[in-house]
């Protein structure tokens, strides 16, 4: 096993985490009681063998929808990408930012969720540099450690609790002009920078300026997100039963990320593209393991012992497309223990990482 140092891995998110600490209701207290533990612990020996379950047949239970499901709009296109990270995890990552030792991870069960953390870091940095930062930091009433940052369709949406009247007043004082306002949400654009933000009582949304290419309209994308959040548009899970099942079957605490297509399988070019922004300096996402599949939901949760738990739920269009061997050989490659369960056309992989991940 190649040991991965959590503090090195998550140091990469430092800039954005610093922005979060400066412009959210979070405290500086670490959510990890062992955050200051002795770094000399080498964890498991590199010679340890991965413990892989050989009996794969089982049941994958589908639970409740995650809170961020209401922020995932139906985009009327085949392929879909989303990510979410809870504020508690973001603060924990920020607390770890100053330690740079250790090896960079290569295990896709770790790399892909960490890429979402980096993408979130980039978004928070851009927010902290914009005129909207004052309004956000002044009127964010989300309880400490709660809230979730979601990324979908080129839009960052921070799910929490806000003083909407105060937000709108401060935005106008800081040079924003109303583009669309109603009982449920409002959208503002800055007269000089052209920056766009959208607000409801529970959502603060802003675009990734590098998303979507030439055809990307941030105002339209924000409006779609807000209308979905307030119930004026159907969310993706309400229009696609398979997507809904993937959200329910996947774990959603910590960092979650997913890719999905309504086709029989992912296009190879789509799997090979890097969906994390180049300016984040992020690790390159690795979705090769999901060749032949049509859905994959991943999760990474930091553990109290400085380790972590990671997993993936992968779906296929038919049982004869399921490739358990490919998943086993590609995912959990740096884990201490891996458990694999196949339930018809779906496979779950759960991995544990001990020591300083």
| pLDDT computed for residue 94 by the predictor | 61
**Angle, helix 132-139 to helix 164-173, in steps of 10 degrees:** 150
| pLDDT computed for residue 162 by the predictor | 96
Ramachandran sector of residue 213 (left: φ over 0; alpha: ψ -120 to 50; beta: rest): left
Q: Do the beta carbons of residue 348 and residue 300 sit within 8 Å?
A: no
Q: What is the mean pLDDT of each run of 10 residues along the chain (357 residues)?
A: 41 45 40 36 42 65 92 92 89 57 77 88 88 94 89 94 96 95 94 94 93 80 96 96 95 92 93 58 78 96 82 97 95 93 96 79
Residue 137 class from Cβ within 10 Å (0-12 exposed, 13-18 middle, 19+ buried)? Answer: middle
- Rounded Cα distance, 223 and 210, in Å: 18
Residue 215 class from Cβ within 10 Å (0-12 exposed, 13-18 middle, 19+ buried)? Answer: exposed
| pLDDT computed for residue 92 by the predictor | 73
| pLDDT computed for residue 55 by the predictor | 58
| pLDDT computed for residue 214 by the predictor | 64
| pLDDT computed for residue 274 by the predictor | 55
The answer to whether the predicted template modeling score (pTM) of the entire model surpasses 0.85 is no
């Amino acid at each position: 096993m190649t040991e991965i140092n959590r503090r090195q891995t998550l140091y990469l998110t430092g800039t954005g985490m610093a922005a979060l600490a400066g412009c959210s209701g979070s405290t500086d207290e670490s959510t990890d009681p062992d955050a200051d533990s002795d770094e000399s612990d080498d964890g498991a020996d590199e010679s340890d063998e991965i413990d892989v379950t050989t009996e794969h047949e089982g049941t994958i239970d589908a639970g409740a929808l995650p809170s961020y499901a209401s922020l995932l709009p139906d985009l009327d296109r085949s392929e879909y990408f989303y990510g979410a990270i809870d504020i508690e995890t973001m603060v924990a990552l920020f607390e770890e930012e100053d330690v740079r030792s250790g090896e960079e991870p290569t295990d896709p069960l770790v790399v892909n969720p960490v890429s979402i953390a980096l993408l979130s870091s980039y978004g928070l940095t851009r927010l902290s540099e914009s005129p909207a930062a004052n309004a956000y930091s002044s009127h964010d009433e989300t309880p400490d450690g709660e809230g979730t940052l979601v990324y979908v369709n080129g839009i960052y949406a921070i799910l929490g609790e806000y003083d909407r009247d105060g937000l709108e007043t401060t935005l106008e004082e800081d040079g924003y002009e109303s583009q669309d306002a109603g009982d449920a949400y409002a959208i503002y654009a800055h007269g000089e920078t052209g920056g766009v933000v959208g607000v409801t009582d529970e959502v603060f949304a802003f675009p990734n300026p590098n998303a979507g290419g030439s055809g990307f309209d941030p105002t339209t994308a924000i409006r779609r997100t807000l209308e979905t959040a307030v119930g004026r548009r159907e969310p993706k899970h309400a229009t696609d039963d398979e997507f809904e099942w993937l959200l329910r079957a996947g774990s959603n605490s910590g960092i979650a990320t997913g890719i999905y297509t309504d086709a029989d399988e992912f296009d190879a070019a789509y799997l090979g593209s890097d969906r994390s922004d180049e300016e984040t300096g992020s690790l390159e996402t690795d979705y090769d393991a999901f060749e032949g599949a049509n859905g994959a939901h991943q999760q990474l949760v930091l553990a109290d012992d400085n380790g972590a738990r990671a997993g993936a739920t992968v779906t296929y269009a038919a049982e004869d497309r399921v490739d358990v061997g490919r998943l086993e050989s590609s995912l959990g490659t740096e884990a201490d223990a891996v458990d694999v369960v196949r339930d018809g056309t779906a496979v779950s992989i759960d991995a544990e990482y001990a020591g300083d991940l």
